[in-house]
Amino acid sequence: MSEKLKTILRSDEFSCPSCVAKIEKALKALPGVEDARVHFSTGRIEIDHNPARAPVDTLVQAVRSTGYEARPAAF
């Protein structure tokens, strides 16, 4: 059985629907990522993933590769 985790990242840099699509596409292309949802109005990025195949630092790097900063959300 594969482990599943929901990770939430924050980014205050994207400002348009095409930014959202670009980030979601980059994250969904990663092995181990089941789904990625970018919430434009809140700057929240929710990722359902297998942490062994797609660790948090890999998720952050994927967002950064699109030209936007991201960081794990603090609660």
Q: Residue-wise pLDDT tens for the chain (75 aa)?
A: 468 999 999 998 887 888 899 999 999 999 999 999 999 889 999 999 999 999 999 999 999 999 999 999 975
Please name the fold of domain 5-72.
Alpha-Beta Plaits (3.30.70)
Domain boundaries, the chain: 5-72
Determine the Cα–Cα distance for residues 20 and 33; give it in Å rounded to an integer.
16
Determine the Cα–Cα distance for residues 66 and 22; give it in Å rounded to an integer.
7
**Contact by Cβ (8 Å): 33, 42:** no
Q: Which two tokens stand for residue 28?
A: 């969904």
Kindly report the pTM of this predicted structure.
Answer: 0.91
